[in-house]
Amino acid sequence: MRLVIASNNAHKVAEIKAILAPYYDEILSLKDAGITIDVVEDGETFEDNARKKAEEVLAVAHADAVLSDDSGLMVDALGGAPGVYSARYAGEGHDDAANNAKLLEAMQSVPDGARACRFVSAIALARRGRETLIRLGEVEGTLLRAPRGIDGFGYDPLFYYEPAGRTFAELSACEKNLVSHRKRGLEAVRAALEAERA
């Protein structure tokens, strides 16, 4: 059984391998599988985007399954924004710093007690001859008024994780991976695969 991960991010690939290795003989990144494809993520939800990417890659892959994820930050006070636009919140071609600056500006007048937010990850596992499996992972946090920490990426410096008493950017990669939204989504996929085996 061969699984292709619709990513070339080494950290993401390693995390997925650690969780799903018991179910596949071979787990490859896009590059390892010799696949170059640019899927337009134009869905209205994280689930839409993850499904589309997994199914389009599966259509060209020599594999039994393809796993994809789409992740982002949802802020309650902004009606769930930036949501699926998390990576391009400040516009195409802008970086993490610009996205964070726009988010802080949008949240400037929101009081401390109303700054709840969550990271969400939709995991899609497209499989030949079977229905695509989709699971969500979420982690709750509070949006700070200024960035803290130097690790992580994206909105991590603004995402305060209460159980750790630190932002995601103040956690080590190992600490973050233990509680991340992607890990929770992957574990939900693993649980679904276990249920299918039973």
- Residues known to be catalytic: 70
Distances (CA, A) of 126 to 2, 56, 177: 12, 9, 23
Are the beta carbons of 6 and 30 closer than 8 angstroms? Answer: yes
Instruction: Classify residue 103 by burial, with Cβ atoms within 10 Å: 0-12, 13-18, 19+.
Output: buried
How far is residue 177's CA from residue 172's CA, in Å, rounded to a whole number? 9
- Give the angle subtended at the CA of 100 by the CAs of 42 and 145, to the nearest 5°: 135
Distances (CA, A) of 146 to 40, 79, 104, 122, 158: 32, 21, 8, 27, 6
How far is residue 105's CA from residue 96's CA, in Å, rounded to a whole number? 14
67 forms bridges with which residues in the sheet? 5, 125
